[in-house]
Amino acid sequence: MANGPAPVAIIMGSQSDWPTMKHAADTLDRLGVAYEARIVSAHRTPERMFDFAKAARGNGVKVIIAGAGGAAHLPGMTAALTPLPVFGVPIESRTLKGEDSLLSIVQMPAGIPVGTLAIGRAGAVNAALLAASVLALTDEGLAVRLDSYRAEQTASVADFPSDEA
């Protein structure tokens, strides 16, 4: 891990979001990107959200990954409170399968952007990859590791389907 403050903050609305958001953490681990993961709820801990978002840039955070489900205000509210890039991950909710989360996060009015990813694991992994891509603009070592990640992914794809897989 890098020295100094973690450049990525992974925040989520609930402990129940962690099984999804852990995929973002695991992806950052694989790329050697330091992060801090926290539960920050827009609904249940609004003051914690405010304090986190207002202090994030001063604390050395460069990119925020925010996961939330249902009426998923956390990514948008966080983006409203900080100029840092915010990537939103819609959590797959029980009742509406995450379509509620997706629409809550993606439909930001013009002026406050949230980069919205896919529902669930794919979104969490890709949020981490996007965060790493942003950091790699000024980190040549990380850029090389991202290239390796893609090369390994490409090499893992078989030419033909198998009954054994």
Annotated binding site for substrate, which residues? 14, 17, 44
Residue closer to ligand RP5 by CB (options 70, 115) is: 70
Q: Choose between 69 and 123: whose C-beta lies nearer to ligand RP5.
A: 69
* Distance in angstroms (rounded) separating the CA atoms of residues 107 and 102: 8
* Euclidean distance between CA atoms 125 and 13, whole angstroms: 18
Q: Is 43 a residue that touches ligand RP5 (CB under 6 A)?
A: yes
88 in contact with ligand RP5 (CB under 6 A): no
Residue 2 CB, shortest distance to ligand RP5, in Å, is 28
Question: 3-state secondary structure string, 48-99?
Answer: HHHHHHHHHCCCCCCEEEEEECCCCCHHHHHHHHCCCCEEEEECCCCCCCCH
- The binding site for ligand RP5 (CB under 6 A) comprises 13-14, 16-17, 41, 43, 68-70, 91
